[in-house]
Amino acid sequence: MSVTTLLEGWSDWRHEHPINDQPHNPYKWAMSIDLDACTGCNACSVACYAENNLPVVGKEKYAHGQVMHWLRIERYWDEDGREFPDQGARFLPMMCQQCEAAPCETVCPVGATNHTPDGLNSQIYNRCIGSRYCSANCPFKVRYFNWYDYPTTDNVWPAEMNQQLNPDVTVRGKGVMEKCTFCVQRLREAESNAKSQGRVVRDGEVQTACQQVCLPGAITFGNLVDPESKVHKKWQAQQVELAKDVQAKDKEEGGSKLRGYRILEELRPYPSVMYLERVRDSAI
Amino acid sequence: MMDSGFDRRDFLKVLGWGGTTAALGGCGFTSMEDGKETVVSYVEAKDYMIPSISVYYNSTCTQCDMGCSISGRVREGRVLKLEGNPESAINRGKLCGLGQAGVQHHYNPDRVREPLLRTGSKSGETITWEKAYGLIAEKLNGVSGEEIAFLTGGMSGHLKVLMGNYLDSFGCKNHFVYEAIAPAVVRAANKKSYGVEMPRISINKAKVVLSFGADFLGSWVSPVHFSQQYAQFRKGVNGQRGVLIQVESKMTLTGANADRWLAVRPGTEGILALGIINALGTATGDVAAAVKGYDKVRVSKDTGVSAEQIDKIAALLKARTPSLVLVGSAAEGYAHGSQNAAAINLLNQVLGNVGKTVEAAASVPFPQMAPALGNTAALQGLNKGLAEGKFKVLFNYAANPVFTAPAAMKFKDNMAKAGFKVVFAHYLDETALQADLVLPLDSGLEDWGSHVPEYMAEGAQINIQQPLMEKIHANTRGMGDILLSLVKQRRSEDYKKYADYYAYLRDALLKNKDAFGGKGIDDDVFWDDTLSKGIVKLAGSTGALSAKASAAGLTLPAPAAIDAQFPLQLIPSVNHSLRDGRNTNQPWLQESPDPLTTIVWDSWVEIHPKKAAELGIAEGDIVEITSKNGSIKVQAYLFPGIHPDVISVPLGRGHEAMGRYAKDYGVNPFLILDAIFDKETGELAMHETRVKVSKTGQKVIVVKDEGPAGGRQMGKKIAPRLPTDKVDFSKEV
Amino acid sequence: MKDIREDIAWAKINKDVLHSLENPRKMFWVMLVVAIAMVGVGVGCEAYQYITGMGVANMDNPHVWGLYIASFIFWIGMSHSGTLLSAILHLMHADWRKPIYRFAEAMTTFSLMTAGLFVFVHLGRAWQVYYAIPYPNERGIWPNFQSPLLWDAMAIFTYLSSSILFLYVGMIPDLAICRDNMNPGWRKKLYTALALGWEGTDRQWRNFRVTYLTIACFLIPLAVSVHSIVASDFAMSQQPGWHITSFPPYFVAGALYSGCAAIITLFIILRYVFRFEEYMTLPILKKIVRLTFAISMVWTYLNMIEMASVWYGHDPVAKDTLLERMYGPYAPFWWSMIFCGSIVPLIMAFKRFQTNIPVMFVVSLLLNLGMWLERWMIVSPTFAHGYYPWTWDHDQWPSFVQWGIVFGSFGWFTLLFMGFCKLFPSVSMYEVKEMVYHRSLATKAAAGKLEAAGKGAH
C-alpha cells in the first residue's frame, strides 16, 4: 500500500494493447469464430451454462431482460425486403470480446475489472461493488449483472441440482457483475501444469467449454502469440492485427476478399475475437 | 472578553467524541457471510477420489436415441459436466446442447424417488420394491400373453434382449415400440429404394446437398455427426465449398444454414423432385416416362418454386458431383409421404449418388441387439387393443404417449381401460400420472447398459453405458435391474446366477469378447478396457445398396386444395433440444433460445408477415388455433421463413406434469393433430393438420432474446456476408 | 414594489428572524409527518431492494442504470443553488442575495446529502461502498482513479464538506445572536456550543471576512468542477448520446438552472410560512426570476448545441439515439422536458408575471420537473438504444421500487430542510443588517450628506 505501488500499477494496468516494448508474453488468449461453419445450434451457450455455474433465471426474469447467458447466439436476417429469407439466416455467437483497450476497464470505480498479463479482461467478483458502469460502457453489452441472489433463489439450484456446480468457478451472489472469462479456470489450470513442467501451454491443450462442444468446430481458441497455434495462423491469414483499429486489407479497392473482421472495430476497443464472414454460394 | 461559556477546550472535546463514534460504527462487517464459511471434506474418501482432481468416465448419452458417447467429468464423486467421447465415430468428441443438459436430467429435483402405488390415491402411496414386484406378479398371475402389452421407446442392446426374453416367458408378442418423432417413413422408403433402412450418408463427400426437409443439423437422425460432416462440407472438396439447398415449408435450423432456402407448398416436395429429374434430362426408361409430365412450368405452378430456380438446381447438380439428396419432413409430414420419399430417393439414384455419398452402413452381427425402431403405427396398434379392452396389464417404458398422442386417438381414455398399468419413469409425466404403479428409474448417468445406435457412422459399434456416480436416490433402480428381477419371477433358473444387471451385461459381453476384439485378452482386462473406452468396435457386416433407379409404383397426388373452413396448414416443428418433450424439464433447455425465433420458456405460432398482415395479427397477439380435433391458444410471432399458407407451433412444451420446469409452460400441439396417416406405413402424417386461426383479443410481450431491432443490423457490420465469387478461400488455414 | 425599509431597526430584524425559530404551529408537524412518511416509503423500498437484489428496481441488461443515477445528478444539480447565490453573487457584490442565501446554502448541503444517498442506493453491493475510499488495506489496492465515478465520489465528498463548512462558518455571527437572545434550555446550549464564543470584535470580524471570502473563492471552481465531473460520468464513456464534449458546461448550466428554480420555490414557501415579506421582498424575487430566465436561455442554447453537434457530426449512431429520444418510447418525457425547460420559462420574461407569486411557484416547480426529466432522458434512452442493435430494449421502465426511493428522497430533503429552518435562522440576520446599512449609506450619499463612515462594527 504505497504511492510506488500506485504509480507502478497505474502504468501496468493501463497498457492498452501490446506495443513494441511490452508485448503479451508468453500468452495472449484469442479466438476466431467461423460464421460460415456456425449452425446456430446453441450447444456452446448451454455448455457455458454448465461450465461456469450460470443461473437459469426463469421466464419472468427473462421477460424483464435479466438473463445471464455469457454467450448469446444472435440471429440476423437479410434486409433486402424479399418475401422469404431464401439465403438462410446468419448466426453470431457473441461473448465478452476481451478487448485490449476495454472501455469497461477504465470506468470501474474500484478497479474490479482489469487486464491480465495473458490478455484477458478480468472480472474480480469480490472487489465488485455493483456500480454497473462497466456494463454501461460496454459497446457489445456482454456484461451480465446479478440482479438477484441466485444461490438463494428458489428453483435455480434446488437440492441435487446444486451438486452439478463446478467447484472451479465461483458461484456469484447478488450485486456482482460477471461475463465470459474465456474459461479462465481451465486456462489457469493448464498454465499451472505447464509451468510446473517448465514449458508453455501447447496449442489444443486447453479448450474453452464453448470451443470444446462446438459441433462444426467453428470456434478456434488459443494463444495468439504462439506462431504455431491455429488461432495465430488464422489471424495472420486473414490479415487482422490485434493492435490496429483499421486493418490494412480493408483499404483495398473493391473490398477485401478475406473473411476476417472484428465487430465495432471503429470504436477502438481492440477485441480479441475475430469473426470470419459467412458465405453464401453465388451459383444458386 | 465576554464569557460565552464555550472555549477551545470544549471545542476539541466535541470533535474528539464525534470522531470516535464515527470510527466505531464501521466495525463488525466482513464481506463474507457469517457462519457460511465451512470447509467440508470427506472423512473417509474413496481411494480413487482425490479432492480437486477430476476423473473422466465414458458412457453413452441417453438424451436422444442417437447414442453419442460421452465422457463425464467427475469430481469428489459427483458428475459435473459431460463432454463428448473422442473414441466414438458417431460424435467424435463433440456433444450437443441437449447432451450437455443430461446432468440436469440426472440431478433434476423432480425425479421420482420411490415406487408409487397410485390406485385409489391421486398423490400415490410409497411402497417398497418387494411389494411392487409382488403386486406385478399378482396382477400377471393367470394372465395370458395376449392380454399383456409393453409400450416402449426405441430399444437396443442387451436391454432389448432381456425384454424379449421376459416377453417370451409369457408368450407375449405385444411389444409396441413407439417414437413420437421418428424418421419412420424415411426408413421404410429407404428400405424400398436402397434396400437398407438407414444407409450411411456422407455429407462431407458431397459437393451439393439437396435436402427435402431433413433437419440434419438440428434434430434429424444424428445431428452431432452430421454437423461435423457439414463443417468439412463447407470447407469443400478440392477447395470448392459445398452448396446446401433446403426445400421445406417451414424453415428448420438446417434451412437457416442453406445457401438457398426454398419455401415449397406443403406436400409437393415429391413433385419438385420429379421436376428436377425432368430438368436434369438424364433419366431413362420408366423413370423418364414417369417424369415426363413434370415439366418446370407445371412443377413451378404446383410447388411455388420458380422455373429458373428449378433450372439452376438441375444445372448445379449436373455440374457438381457427387451430390446428396436427403428426405426428412417431406416424408414424415404427409399422407403421401412414402410417395414423396420414393420420388426424392429416386433423384439420388438418378444422380448416381448411391455408392458415393449414400452407402451401406455397417451393422452389428447380433441381430437380437439391433435397435427396435419406434414409430407411430405401433401406437395405433396399442391404442386399438386398449380401446377393445384387450389388455389386462400394460407396461410403459421410455415413452410418454398421453402427452404425444393426438387427442383424436383418445389414448388417455383408452389407457384407462387397461386393467393394471405399470409405468417405469424418471419423472411423474403425463403418462405416469395415469399409472397404477410408478417405478422410479435410475437416471441415464446412474445406469448400466449397452446400445446399438440406429445410425452407424463408420464401423459397427456398440455403445456402453456405465454409471458416472453412485445413485443419488437410494430407491431408484436401473431398467435392466428391474427387468432382471421381473424375468427372474418367470425364469428363475436361467437367471439365477446374475445378481444384478451389471453381472448380466458383463457376462453377455465377455461371452462374445472374441467378436469384440478381445480374443486372447484376460476377461477383467478386456472389461476394464471396454468400460474405459466407452464403446466396443467390431467388425460389422456391410450390406450392399441397391442402386437401381426405378419409378415403379410411384404416384404422386396433386397438391391438396385449401379447405375453406380450415385454410391454413399446421406444421408442428421439432426443436433440436425439446424434441418430443422428454427433456422439457431441463431448465438449461427451457432457457436456451430457439435458434430461429429466440423465444424461451413458452410456445409460439410462426406466421408469415404477409399472412399476419392479412389476418391483422401482430407479434404477441394471443391467437386461437383450431383444428377438427381441438384448439390451442398461443402467442403469435411473425416469421419470414415459412410458407404463407402454413403456420408452425413447436413441439415439446405444453406439459401438464413432469415437474416444476416443464409444467404449464407453453401449449402442446400434439393434441390437436388430425389423425391422418401415411397410406403405406401407417405413420402419423405430422403436417397434414388443417387449422383456422382467430384472434382472442389478448396480447402479451413475447419473451425472447432478440430486442426490438429483431434480426436487423441497423447498418452496422455485425454479421456481414460474402458471396462465393467475392471470397478468396485459398489463403485460409 | 415594496423593498426592505432602510430605517428598519436591528432589533426588529433579530426579532422577526428569531420568531421563525419558535415552537412550530400544527401545520409544521403535519408536514413533518408527511415528510417522514415519504422517507419511510423510500426506506422500505430500499430495504426490499437491499435484501432481494437490484432486480426489483426493474433494471436489466442493457438498462443497468435508471432513476437512481438520474436523481443523483438532479440532486447534485440542485446543490448549485447555494453556491451560486452565496459564493458567486457574493463575489459580484450583489446585495440582493443577502436575505436569501442562507436557505439556499442549506439547500445545497441537504441536496448533497440526498445525492449521497443515491450513490449508496444505486450500488449492487452497497455494503461495500467503502471500497471506493482509498483507505489503508491489507491487499494494497487503491481504487481506480481513471474512473469518473470515483472522481464523483471524491468531488462530492469535497463539495459536501466544503459546503457544510461554508454554511456553518457563515452562520456563526447569527448563531451568536441566537445564543444571546434565547432563554436557557437545550437550544441555548446548542447555539452556545456552535457559536464558538463569537463576540463580534473587530478582529473576529476581520478573520471572519477573510475566511468567508476564501471559502467562497474555493467553492466556486469546486462547484463547477463537481458538476463537470458528474457530467464526465457520461462524457467520458463511449455510449451514443453521452460522448459529447459540451456535457460538462451543459450539466453545470442545468445545475444552476434547477438550483435557481428551487430557490424560487423555497423563497415563496418560506416567505409565506415565516412571514418574511419584509426581507424576502418582491424586488428580490424579481431578480432571482430574471436570473433564472437568463440561465434557462443558456441551458436551452447548450441543449441546442448538443443536438446540433450530434446532427452535424459523423456518428450515425448518436444521431439515431437522438432521434429515438424524440420519437421512441421516451418521446412523451423528452418533449415534456423541452416544454418545461425551454417553453415554460418564457413566462419569466414578462414583468407581469415576474412577481406573481402563484404563477412563479407553479413555474418553478415545472422547471424543476423539466430538469429532473432531463436527467432521466440523458440516462435511459442511451441504454434502450445503444451501439448494438441486438441488445436494444424499448420496454424497460422503472419499477415502484425506483419511484418509491426517488419519492422518498424528496421527503428526506424536506425533512432535513424543515429541521434546519426550525433550528437555525433561515435568513442571515447580520447580512440583512449589512444590506440595510449599505442602502442607507447610498441614500445619504445620494442626498449629498455623506461623511465617510468607514467600516465600523455592525
Task: List C-alpha distances in Å: C359 to B29, B105, B278, B716, C283.
Answer: 52, 69, 86, 50, 16
Whether residues B191 and B246 share a domain: the answer is yes
Residues 6+ away with beta carbon under 8 Å from B483: B159, B162, B163, B166, B501
Q: Does residue A131 belong to the interface with chain C, where contact is any CB pair within 8 Å?
A: yes
C212 inside domain: yes
C371/C374 Cα distance (integer angstroms)? 5
B390 inside domain: yes
Residues 6+ away with beta carbon under 8 Å from A157: A55, A150, A151, A165
Residue B124 Rama label (left phi>0; alpha psi -120 to 50; beta):
left
Q: What is the pLDDT of residues A66-97, one digit of tens each?
A: 999 999 999 999 998 999 999 999 999 999 99
- pLDDT value of residue C139: 84
Whether residues B623 and B672 share a domain: the answer is yes
* B274 close to B294: Cβ distance less than 8 angstroms: yes
Whether C193 and B10 lie within 8 Å, measured CB to CB: yes
Number of domains in chain C: 1
Query: Coil, helix or strand for A90?
Result: strand
Whether residues B674 and B594 share a domain: the answer is yes
Strand B621-627 and strand B535-538: pairing? unpaired
Whether residues B327 and B309 share a domain: the answer is yes
* B669 close to B649: Cβ distance less than 8 angstroms: yes
Q: What residue of B is the nearest CA neighbor of A82?
A: B640
Least confident of A254-258, B460-464, B531-535: A254-258
Task: List C-alpha distances in Å: C11 to B125, B498, C214, C256, C353.
Answer: 92, 112, 30, 35, 34
Whether B100 and A281 lie within 8 Å, measured CB to CB: no
* A237 close to A43: Cβ distance less than 8 angstroms: no
B414/A274 Cα distance (integer angstroms)? 58
CB atoms near residue A15 (< 10 Å)? 15
Q: What is the pLDDT of residues C337-394, one digit of tens each?
A: 999 999 999 999 999 999 899 999 999 999 999 999 999 999 999 999 999 999 999 9
Q: What mean pLDDT do residues B615-637 have?
A: 97
Q: What is the pLDDT of residues C231-281, one digit of tens each?
A: 999 999 989 989 999 999 999 999 999 999 999 999 999 999 998 888 889
C74 inside domain: yes
Least confident of B184-188, B657-661, C152-156, C452-456: C452-456
Surface of B (699-728) touching C: CB under 8 A: 701, 706-709, 712-716, 718
pLDDT band at residue B12 under the 50/70/90 scheme:
low
In C, which residues are within 8 Å of B31 by CB distance? Answer: 127-128
Whether residues B420 and B349 share a domain: the answer is no
Largest CA distance in chain C: 79
- pLDDT value of residue B44: 64
Query: Coil, helix or strand for C430?
Result: helix
Best CA proximity match to B325, nearest among B192, B199, B165: B199
B82 inside domain: yes
Q: What mean pLDDT do residues A99-111 have?
A: 93
pLDDT band at residue A22 under the 50/70/90 scheme:
low
Q: What mean pLDDT do residues B32-61 have?
A: 71
B293 inside domain: yes
Residues 6+ away with beta carbon under 8 Å from A24: A18, A117, A118, A119, A224, A225
- pLDDT value of residue C137: 87
Q: What mean pLDDT do residues B40-55 have?
A: 72
Q: What is the pLDDT of residues A111-153, one digit of tens each?
A: 999 989 899 999 999 999 999 999 999 999 999 999 999 999 9
3-state helix, strand, coil in chain A (%, to 5): 25, 15, 60
How many residues in chain A?
284
The H or E element spanning position A30 is strand A29-34
- pLDDT value of residue A10: 56
Residues 6+ away with beta carbon under 8 Å from C333: C373, C376, C377
- pLDDT value of residue B18: 45
Task: List C-alpha distances in Å: B77 to A167, B50, B682.
Answer: 13, 9, 47
- pLDDT value of residue B1: 41
Least confident of B33-47, B119-133, C205-219: B33-47
Surface of A (155-174) touching B: CB under 8 A: 155, 158-161, 163-167
Number of domains in chain B: 4
Whether B721 and A279 lie within 8 Å, measured CB to CB: yes
3-state helix, strand, coil in chain C (%, to 5): 75, 0, 25
Asked if residue B31 has pLDDT above 80, the reply is: no
Whose grid coordinates read 467475392?
Answer: B726
Strand B630-638 and strand B721-723: pairing? unpaired
Nearest to C193 among B6, B29, B715 (CB): B6
Q: Does residue B22 belong to the interface with chain C, where contact is any CB pair within 8 Å?
A: no
- pLDDT value of residue B22: 41
Mean pLDDT of chain C: 91
Mean pLDDT of chain B: 91
- pLDDT value of residue A25: 82
Q: What mean pLDDT do residues B645-660 have?
A: 96
- Pick from A42, A165, A212 the residue to mutate for testing the B interface (most B CBs within 10 Å): A42
B640 inside domain: yes
C398 inside domain: no
Q: What residue of C is the nearest CA neighbor of A1?
A: C140
B465 inside domain: yes
CATH number assigned to the domain comprising residue B519: 2.20.25.90
> Can you give the residue range of the structural domain that contains C269?
10-21+59-387+424-439
- pLDDT value of residue A60: 95
> Can you give the residue range of the structural domain that contains B593?
568-699
CATH number assigned to the domain comprising residue C381: 1.20.1630.10
Whether residues B97 and B118 share a domain: the answer is no
Q: What mean pLDDT do residues A195-223 have?
A: 96
pLDDT band at residue B52 under the 50/70/90 scheme:
confident
Determine the residue type at B712: R
3-state SS, B181-211, equals CCCHHHHHHHHHHHCCCCCEECHHHCCEEEE
Q: What mean pLDDT do residues C330-335 have?
A: 96
Nearest to C131 among A5, A127, A145 (CB): A127
> What are the cell numbers at B210?
439437396
Q: Does residue A258 belong to the interface with chain B, where contact is any CB pair within 8 Å?
A: yes
C349/C289 Cα distance (integer angstroms)? 9
Subunits touching C (CB < 8 Å, at least 3 pairs)? A, B
* B535 close to B512: Cβ distance less than 8 angstroms: no
Q: Does residue A4 belong to the interface with chain C, where contact is any CB pair within 8 Å?
A: no
Q: Does residue B281 belong to the interface with chain A, where contact is any CB pair within 8 Å?
A: no
- pLDDT value of residue C457: 46
Residue C454 Rama label (left phi>0; alpha psi -120 to 50; beta):
left
* B179 close to B203: Cβ distance less than 8 angstroms: no
Asked if residue A54 has pLDDT above 60, the reply is: yes
Subunits touching A (CB < 8 Å, at least 3 pairs)? B, C
Report yes or no for ipTM above 0.90. yes
- pLDDT value of residue B8: 60
B536/C1 Cα distance (integer angstroms)? 105
Residues 6+ away with beta carbon under 8 Å from B565: B692
Of A243-257, B172-186, C432-446, highest mean pLDDT? B172-186
Give B714 to chain C, closest Cα distance, Å. Answer: 7
Q: Does residue B641 belong to the interface with chain A, where contact is any CB pair within 8 Å?
A: yes
**CATH for the A3-276 domain, from 3.40.50.10470, 3.40.718.10, 3.30.70.20, 3.20.20.100:** 3.30.70.20
Q: What mean pLDDT do residues B451-455 have?
A: 94
Q: Does residue A277 belong to the interface with chain B, where contact is any CB pair within 8 Å?
A: yes
Q: What is the pLDDT of residues B102-127, one digit of tens each?
A: 999 999 999 999 999 998 667 789 99
Whether residues B310 and B357 share a domain: the answer is yes
Q: Does residue A64 belong to the interface with chain C, where contact is any CB pair within 8 Å?
A: yes
Whether residues B173 and B188 share a domain: the answer is no
CB atoms near residue C356 (< 10 Å)? 17
Asked if residue A281 has pLDDT above 50, the reply is: yes
Q: What mean pLDDT do residues B234-248 have?
A: 90
Query: Coil, helix or strand for C412?
Result: helix
Residues 6+ away with beta carbon under 8 Å from A7: none
Give C397 to chain B, closest Cα distance, Å. Answer: 14
Asked if residue C333 has pLDDT above 50, the reply is: yes
Q: Is the peptide bond before C62 cis (omega within 30 degrees of 0)?
A: yes
Whether C392 and B31 lie within 8 Å, measured CB to CB: no
Whether residues B641 and B679 share a domain: the answer is yes
In A, which residues are within 8 Å of C238 by CB distance? Answer: 103, 137, 139, 267
Surface of C (342-381) touching B: CB under 8 A: none
Q: What is the pLDDT of residues A166-186, one digit of tens each?
A: 999 999 999 999 999 999 999
B356/B321 Cα distance (integer angstroms)? 9
- pLDDT value of residue B543: 75
The H or E element spanning position C120 is helix C101-122
> What are the cell numbers at C177?
445572536
CATH number assigned to the domain comprising residue B597: 2.40.40.20
pLDDT band at residue A253 under the 50/70/90 scheme:
confident
Q: Is the peptide bond before C221 cis (omega within 30 degrees of 0)?
A: no
Q: What mean pLDDT do residues B120-142 have?
A: 89
* B647 close to B626: Cβ distance less than 8 angstroms: no
Whether residues B67 and B147 share a domain: the answer is no
C394 inside domain: no
Q: How many contacts, defined by CB atoms under 8 Å, are there between A and B?
A: 274
Q: Which residue has the higher pLDDT, B327 or B40?
A: B327
